[in-house]
A and B are shown apart, each in its own frame.
Chain A
Amino acid sequence: MITDWFVGLLTLIYLGVLFAIARFGDRRADAGRSVMTSTVYALGIAVYCTSWTFYGSVGRATTGGFSFLTIYLGPTIMFLFAAVILKMIRISKTLRLTSIADFISARYGKSPLLAGLVTVIAVIGIIPYIALQLKAISYSLRILFPDDVEALIPDALETLAFMPDSTAIIAIILAAFTIVFGTRHLDVTERHEGMVLAVAFESLFKLVAFMAVGVYVVWFLNDGFADIFMRAELMPKIETLLQPDSVSYTNWFSLTVLSGLAILMLPRQFQITVVENVDENHMRRAVWLFPLYLLLINLFVMPIALAGMLHFEGKPFVADTLVLTLPLAEGNSAMALLAFLGGLSAATGMVIVETIALATMVSNDLVVPFLLRRDSEFSRRKDLSGLIMLIRRCTIVFLLLLGYLYFRGAGEAYALVSIGLISFLAVAQFAPALLGGMYWKDGNRKGALAGLLLGFGIWLYTALLPSFARSGWIDSGFITEGPFGITLLAAHGLFGLTSLDPIAHTLFWSMFINVGAYFAVSIMTRQDPGEVATANQFVNISTSGELTTKIWRGTASADALVELLKRFLGPKQAQSRLQRYAKSRGLGKIANLQADAEFVMFSETQLAGAIGSASAHVMVSSVVQEEELGLDEVLNILDEASQVRAHSRELERKSAELEAATRDLREANDKLLELDRLKDDFMSTVTHELRTPLTSIRAFSEMLHDDPEMPAEDRTRFLGIIVGEAERLTRLINQILDFAKLESGRVEWAMEDLDLRGLLADTAESMTQLFRERGAGFLLDLPAGDEPVLVNVDRDRTKQVFINLLSNAVKFVPTEAGLVTATLRTADGFATVAVHDNGPGIPLEYQSLIFERFRQGGNTMTDKPQGTGLGLPISREIVEHFGGKLWVESTTGEPEADGTPGVSGSTFYFTIPLAQD
């Protein structure tokens, strides 16, 4: 059996280990070798699981089925929206914010009123929760020692009049721990690494303890999961309890939302997740390790609950303590002790962190502002750092005392047992002001105050008072019948809403009215000038940077600021920080510091870490003459800043556009230069081409003119040459004009459907004279049959192309045995005309040149030009206008490899699309 002294020793050893771990953590931190890894951070966050989880989940599972899981699914989902937490961390680090009250107040112009209100709500909502942890410790002791509740205290001491009970002793030890490791530095932003390490250890311990009990219950007391579930479902109502149909989905959803909000808003979670965060990248592990922790600690809840119900079937039992009573009933004291220590670790971890968080809020946002305002002696003191530290330590003792007294006073009352979710509901009231403030610039102080007050009011009336009533402290009539018999105002059925369970009911109405008031009042009223800057900084924390220093304008004395820092931070601390700051601004000595906006802001932020942003603002304002900026002025400054940003974006855009335009222009210029070059070429070629016939005309004319006695036969020959050259000149000019017209697209086309067959035959007929003169043969090969080959073309232009090709061909055929063949075929929707000659052929390198203007096959410098050099380019223009192509295939008659003489000749092809009928 369990002996009392052994349990007492074990408890002391456990708490001693906590002290040792915390001391180790702090030592390492002081030595610069931080123990804060991402795993420690994630385990620290598991302070979320209190004794309410350790003992209470099993209790909830016996009556609510799987709905106890919502308390852990909500945080799991919330952690996946890591952006919210990361933004909170970033804002808090930038502004040295140390508590949720500080956070909310800083957002709304560092309002002391708001900070105080948040603190009051937190204290009222959380103190009973701390009391619940103490009760869990006391209750677990009572289960271990049913006969002598105070078994841990030696009988000799018990008779002493001042001797506290064992729960009080544990509370005192916890207060000592919290004071030693939670208030090492005045500045809360200096982290409590030892405390976090101890809490992480506690998290690990309670998980191991709970899973050990789970494994013991499932595999040692029973035959595994299937066995427990199968036997349990034989009991009345259990089978339906484990099916999804027993779940009320509205309540399920409400509880998920509620716990998701609580994981952000609970002061202890804010402390660990935001204030104690060293590196935002630690969230990388926390986002999955913390949910995994929650999963593991819940894995055995349902089996333990069912096994307990099976074990105590028919007998009375308390479901909330099954984790402890089940091993005890089986006589396994080792397991029972492990469970006891697990419960102890869950309770103490919560008490420690929650007390630190609350103490920071109470001392910074209630006590210090009160003293600063009321007690002139207080504010005249030379060094306040020690006093402030003392205040914080006293607050810790006071808060734990408050929790203890509540536990003693409330005892078994419903108000205490049900406080878990009621606490969640209280802190959820912070959500609209906090989240709204982070993402909505126009949310203002009045809106936050209205939302918080109304939400808190609804919470008091629909959640806290009913729990008092059910404890029998006040009359319970208002819960269902409403005050003075007004049913519409019934606390659990406000405005007739009776379909929700009490928690969902309070959540709905408080959030509805809180959010509604926050938005409505924010929209209807204006922000104070002081708020605008911080609102901007919160919402745009990643981009705003140095904005706040622009908002501040006034006169200050650097000495006064230095004095102020020394008074609140202590001379040594202040000295070292100022030194560092001076160095960072490149000033070297503290004496060189100028009291500019940046220094004022620096002082205020430093003070905020120690006494909260609201008090810090008040104190700094007391030594500097701040020029009260009007709202319009502040808005102008912010506007300017955002306009500067907008301008620079605009500039970037414009310069990109300019670059693009420059590129286009350069391309266009290159093209123009190329065209200009081509034009010059063209002009020089044209003049050259024109001069040749002109020169010969002039030469022969001069000879005729100079020599009147020239024989008639010579005269006739010369005149013939002159006429021929003049004709060539005319033709050349006509063709140049024609080509220019084609290129500029000013030709009028008389398009018609006509039969290519007839057109080719007619044209060939008109050319027979030419072939005969050259002594060349001509063959026209038309497709078999007499079906017309219809194309949509301009008759004269098509004729021009054909004549051009034929006259070219006849020019190059040999004088003897010259042969020109013209072939017409249709294929693939095109009519193809091929004009073949057996001339010398065109070398490959000339084949593309001949389609350029004034280029002819052969050497133009030596050979006498045989044409204008415009025929082929013009023909190509025409054919392409009809939608066809013109090209040449040619062989120059190189001898084959085996020595047989090659066949030379050229074939010009042109295609014209067949007319669509």
Chain B
Amino acid sequence: MPKGIQKSVPKLAIVGLLALLAFNYPILSLFRGHLFSIPTLYFGLFGAWLLVIWLARAAADPQRRSTPRSALPVEETKA
């Protein structure tokens, strides 16, 4: 049974394949022209990059919301 990072490996690989597609022809060639006077390619590259980073974070390092960790053992003792 994979634990920790090993568990997210397949999800990360899927994000990796997406990134490989996004950062190459022909997706890149779609970002022509300008947006707010700034080349669309600038937005395209950094936007896709940020999205990939966000997905990687969601897959590998999900942040625990305010749920206190001490709640877990309590549940375990109940079970």
State A247–B4 Cα separation when bound (angstroms).
Answer: 40
A723 at interface by CB-CB < 8 Å: no
With A77-B20, A81-B12 already in contact, the answer to whether A244 and B56 are too (CB < 8 A) is no
Chain A positions 264-316 with a Cβ under 8 Å from a chain B Cβ: 280-281, 283-285, 287-288, 291-292, 295, 299, 302
Chain A positions 226-270 with a Cβ under 8 Å from a chain B Cβ: 226, 229-230, 242-245, 247, 249, 252-253, 256
A69:B42 contact, CB within 8 angstroms = no
Query: What's the nearest-Cβ distance from chain A to residue B12, in Å?
Result: 5
B53:A249 contact, CB within 8 angstroms = no
State A280–B5 Cα separation when bound (angstroms).
Answer: 7
Minimal Cβ-Cβ distance residue in B for A81: B16
Chain B positions 14-62 with a Cβ under 8 Å from a chain A Cβ: 15-16, 19-20, 23-25, 28-34, 36-39, 41-42, 45-46, 49-50, 52-54, 56-57, 60-61
Categorize the interface residue count of chain B. Answer: 35 or more
With A76-B49, A86-B6, A283-B60 already in contact, the answer to whether A229 and B41 are too (CB < 8 A) is no
Query: What's the nearest-Cβ distance from chain A to residue B61, in Å?
Result: 4
Query: What's the nearest-Cβ distance from chain A to residue B50, in Å?
Result: 7
- Per the CB 8 Å criterion, the residue count for chain A at the interface is 37
A73 at interface by CB-CB < 8 Å: yes
State A249–B61 Cα separation when bound (angstroms).
Answer: 33
B interface: dominant SS: helix
State A77–B52 Cα separation when bound (angstroms).
Answer: 9
Chain A positions 210-235 with a Cβ under 8 Å from a chain B Cβ: 225-226, 229-230
What does the 1/0 interface line of A72-99 toward B look like (CB < 8 Å)?
Answer: 0100111111110010000000000000
A41 at interface by CB-CB < 8 Å: no
B60:A252 contact, CB within 8 angstroms = no
Point out the residues of chain A lying under 8 angstroms from B4, CB to CB. 280-281, 284
Chain A-chain B contacts (Cβ-Cβ < 8 Å), number: 113
Point out the residues of chain B lying under 8 angstroms from A81, CB to CB. 12-13, 16
Point out the residues of chain B lying under 8 angstroms from A256, CB to CB. 23-24
B46:A299 contact, CB within 8 angstroms = yes
With A245-B29, A252-B25, A256-B24 already in contact, the answer to whether A288 and B46 are too (CB < 8 A) is no
A287:B42 contact, CB within 8 angstroms = no
B39:A242 contact, CB within 8 angstroms = yes
A244:B32 contact, CB within 8 angstroms = yes
A66 at interface by CB-CB < 8 Å: yes
With A69-B45, A229-B38, A299-B46 already in contact, the answer to whether A287 and B28 are too (CB < 8 A) is no
A86:B12 contact, CB within 8 angstroms = no
With A253-B24, A281-B4 already in contact, the answer to whether A291 and B41 are too (CB < 8 A) is no
Point out the residues of chain A lying under 8 angstroms from B8, CB to CB. 82, 284
Query: What's the nearest-Cβ distance from chain B to residue A279, in Å?
Result: 9
Point out the residues of chain B lying under 8 angstroms from A292, CB to CB. 53
Minimal Cβ-Cβ distance residue in B for A247: B28
A252:B53 contact, CB within 8 angstroms = no
Point out the residues of chain A lying under 8 angstroms from B37, CB to CB. 226, 229-230
Partner of B31, one of A86, A244, A252: A244
Partner of B50, one of A66, A77, A285, A295: A295
B32:A287 contact, CB within 8 angstroms = no
A249:B32 contact, CB within 8 angstroms = no
Point out the residues of chain B lying under 8 angstroms from A284, CB to CB. 4-5, 8, 60-61
Chain A positions 168-203 with a Cβ under 8 Å from a chain B Cβ: none
With A76-B49, A252-B25, A280-B4 already in contact, the answer to whether A243 and B16 are too (CB < 8 A) is no
Point out the residues of chain A lying under 8 angstroms from B42, CB to CB. 66, 229, 242, 302
Point out the residues of chain B lying under 8 angstroms from A66, CB to CB. 41-42, 45
B5:A86 contact, CB within 8 angstroms = yes
A76:B39 contact, CB within 8 angstroms = no
What does the 1/0 interface line of B54-78 toward A look like (CB < 8 Å)?
Answer: 1011001100000000000000000
With A77-B20, A229-B38, A243-B32 already in contact, the answer to whether A249 and B9 are too (CB < 8 A) is no
Query: What's the nearest-Cβ distance from chain B to residue A74, in Å?
Result: 9
With A66-B45, A302-B42 already in contact, the answer to whether A288 and B9 are too (CB < 8 A) is no
Minimal Cβ-Cβ distance residue in A for B28: A244
Point out the residues of chain B lying under 8 angstroms from A79, CB to CB. 56
State A295–B34 Cα separation when bound (angstroms).
Answer: 21
State A22–B73 Cα separation when bound (angstroms).
Answer: 38
B23:A73 contact, CB within 8 angstroms = yes
Partner of A288, one of B13, B24, B41, B56: B56
Query: What's the nearest-Cβ distance from chain B to residue A355, in Å?
Result: 30
A80:B38 contact, CB within 8 angstroms = no
Point out the residues of chain A lying under 8 angstroms from B19, CB to CB. 73, 76-77, 80
With A66-B45, A252-B28, A287-B12 already in contact, the answer to whether A225 and B38 are too (CB < 8 A) is yes
State A253–B12 Cα separation when bound (angstroms).
Answer: 21
With A81-B12, A280-B4 already in contact, the answer to whether A295 and B38 are too (CB < 8 A) is no
A82:B12 contact, CB within 8 angstroms = yes
Point out the residues of chain A lying under 8 angstroms from B16, CB to CB. 77-78, 80-81
Minimal Cβ-Cβ distance residue in A for B25: A249
Point out the residues of chain B lying under 8 angstroms from A80, CB to CB. 12-13, 15-16, 19, 52, 56
State A79–B37 Cα separation when bound (angstroms).
Answer: 33
A281:B5 contact, CB within 8 angstroms = yes
Point out the residues of chain B lying under 8 angstroms from A245, CB to CB. 29, 32
B61:A253 contact, CB within 8 angstroms = no
A291:B49 contact, CB within 8 angstroms = yes
Point out the residues of chain B lying under 8 angstroms from A73, CB to CB. 19, 23, 49
With A76-B19, A288-B53, A292-B53 already in contact, the answer to whether A82 and B60 are too (CB < 8 A) is yes
State A77–B13 Cα separation when bound (angstroms).
Answer: 9
A244:B23 contact, CB within 8 angstroms = no
Minimal Cβ-Cβ distance residue in A for B33: A243
Minimal Cβ-Cβ distance residue in B for A295: B49
State A788–B4 Cα separation when bound (angstroms).
Answer: 78
Partner of A291, one of B25, B39, B45, B53: B53
Query: What's the nearest-Cβ distance from chain A to residue B13, in Å?
Result: 6
Query: What's the nearest-Cβ distance from chain B to residue A56, in Å?
Result: 19
State A230–B20 Cα separation when bound (angstroms).
Answer: 30
With A80-B13, A86-B6 already in contact, the answer to whether A285 and B61 are too (CB < 8 A) is yes
Query: What's the nearest-Cβ distance from chain B to residue A531, in Å?
Result: 28
Partner of B9, one of A83, A253, A299: A83
Point out the residues of chain A lying under 8 angstroms from B33, CB to CB. 243
Point out the residues of chain B lying under 8 angstroms from A242, CB to CB. 39, 41-42
State A285–B53 Cα separation when bound (angstroms).
Answer: 11
Point out the residues of chain B lying under 8 angstroms from A280, CB to CB. 4-6
With A86-B5, A256-B23, A288-B61 already in contact, the answer to whether A229 and B32 are too (CB < 8 A) is no
State A253–B33 Cα separation when bound (angstroms).
Answer: 22
State A283–B3 Cα separation when bound (angstroms).
Answer: 13
What does the 1/0 interface line of A107-132 toward B look like (CB < 8 Å)?
Answer: 00000000000000000000000000
State A252–B20 Cα separation when bound (angstroms).
Answer: 12
What does the 1/0 interface line of A577-588 toward B look like (CB < 8 Å)?
Answer: 000000000000
With A80-B12, A81-B12 already in contact, the answer to whether A287 and B24 are too (CB < 8 A) is no
Q: B5, B42, B50, B52: which has the most chain A beta carbons within 10 Å? A: B5
16 A-B pairs besides A80-B13, A80-B56, A283-B5 with CB distance below 8 A are A69-B45, A76-B49, A80-B15, A80-B52, A83-B13, A86-B5, A229-B37, A229-B39, A244-B29, A244-B31, A247-B28, A249-B24, A249-B29, A287-B12, A287-B61, A291-B56
B-side interface residues toward A, CB under 8 Å?
Answer: 4-6, 8-9, 12-13, 15-16, 19-20, 23-25, 28-34, 36-39, 41-42, 45-46, 49-50, 52-54, 56-57, 60-61
A-side interface residues toward B, CB under 8 Å?
Answer: 66, 69, 73, 76-83, 86, 225-226, 229-230, 242-245, 247, 249, 252-253, 256, 280-281, 283-285, 287-288, 291-292, 295, 299, 302
Q: List 21 A-B contacts (CB under 8 A).
A: A69-B45, A76-B52, A77-B16, A77-B19, A78-B16, A80-B15, A80-B19, A82-B13, A86-B9, A229-B34, A229-B39, A242-B41, A242-B42, A247-B28, A247-B29, A249-B25, A249-B29, A253-B25, A283-B60, A285-B60, A291-B53
3 A-B pairs closest in CB distance = A80-B16, A249-B25, A288-B57
